Amino acid sequence: MAISVEDKVVVITGGAGEMGSSLARRLADEGAKVVIADIADGAALAAELGGPERAIYVRTDITSEESTRAMAQAALDAFGRIDALVNNAGLFTGKPWDELTLDDWRQRFRVNTEGVFLATKAVEPAMTKQGRGKIVNIGSDTVWMGTPGMAHYVSSKAAVLGFTRAIASELGPRGITSVYVTPTLLDTPGTRAAFQQAHFDYVVGHTPIGRFETPEDVNGLIVFLVSDDAAFVNGAAINIGGGISMH
Ligand SMILES: NC(=O)c1ccc[n+]([C@@H]2O[C@H](COP(=O)([O-])OP(=O)(O)OC[C@H]3O[C@@H](n4cnc5c(N)ncnc54)[C@H](O)[C@@H]3O)[C@@H](O)[C@H]2O)c1
């Protein structure tokens, strides 16, 4: 039997962004019900994916406990359960060490780390009640490489690795399993605006596969992780970067 996510209810934070919207489309194609949770507008995407029976947009600010709670409630009101949360929302622009301020540091941690905590906190009670659930945390391979020029970003994503392992232990007994996934640099309008050409040249030059990663490269792994076939995958860190780092 093929891997299936048919009728799984999947909440995607940052679901209106580059990777999130691609994942939402793929999951919807595979028969999942999708909750697009983003501070940016995802209403048109939800309509494209089939409207209220199949996909909803919930305006969500993951840095707000009230907002993340409302996100979980909206998912439950629409679909009655939450099978998986993909903590994908994040901010990734860099800044050299000499310019980095405490405010930069805190802003990154607020979204990339606290946001993951709050979104997870919000969906956990429903998953506990169900006796199962999957948390997929989108990290970054900068954590394995110690990429320069973005210490605040790398650190905020590394904290999520620790968080993933901690909840794998603490929530595993409730049937909630957690995974950390680390893509490498994608070639998107967002990353083009954030990084220099030299950065892109380095990535392609050092990737054995010899091309940029695409959102579609990541989607297949997440479909698997959301499926029942990955029910025993817990506390793992899975690197998906074409071999630029071999963690
Ligand atoms: N693009 C890459 O090269 C790359 C590589 C490795 C890891 N990642 C990680 O993958 C994830 C997605 O990246 P992307 O390229 O799709 O970025 P993106 O900027 O296209 O999408 C991120 C989304 O997060 C949303 N968001 C930001 N702050 C939010 C908040 N407070 N509450 C709710 N939503 C919020 C944005 O509105 C946006 O839609 C990020 O966590 C990023 O760090 C990206």
pLDDT at 1: 78
For residue 129, the model assigns a pLDDT of 98
Q: What pTM was estimated for this model as a whole? A: 0.98
Index of the ligand 1 atom closest to the CA of residue 185: 3
State the DSSP H helix or E strand holding residue 239, giving kind and residue range, or none if neither. Answer: strand 236-240
Q: Tell me if 90 CB under 6 Å of ligand 1.
A: yes
Tell whether ligand 1 has an atom less than 6 A from the beta carbon of residue 104: no
Give the distance (Å) from ligand 1 centre to CA of residue 115: 12
Domains in the chain (CATH in brackets) are 9-240 (3.40.50.720)
- Report phi then psi at 89, rounded to 5: -60, 140
Active site residue 153: yes
- CB of residue 40 inside a 6 A radius of ligand 1: yes
Tell me what pLDDT residue 247 has.
Answer: 86
Whether 116 and 159 have beta carbons less than 8 Å apart is answered as no
Buried b (16+ CB within 10 A) or exposed e, 105-123: beebbebbbbbbbbbbebb
Map tokens 């946001």 to a residue. Answer: 115
Indicate if ligand 1 lies below 6 Å from the C-beta of 64. no
Q: Give Cα separations from 133 to 8, 10, 87, 166 (angstroms).
A: 10, 10, 13, 16
The model's pLDDT over 47-104, given as tens digits with 9 standing for 90+, comes to 999 999 999 999 999 999 999 999 999 999 999 999 999 999 999 999 999 999 999 9
| Spatial CA neighbour of 34 closest among 188, 178, 219 | 219
Instruction: Point out the ligand 1 atom lying closest to the alpha carbon of residue 61.
Output: 32
> What's the gap in Å between 157 CA and the centre of ligand 1?
12
Q: Which residues of the chain have pLDDT under 50?
A: none
| CA angle (68 as vertex; 111, 226 as ends), nearest 5 | 85
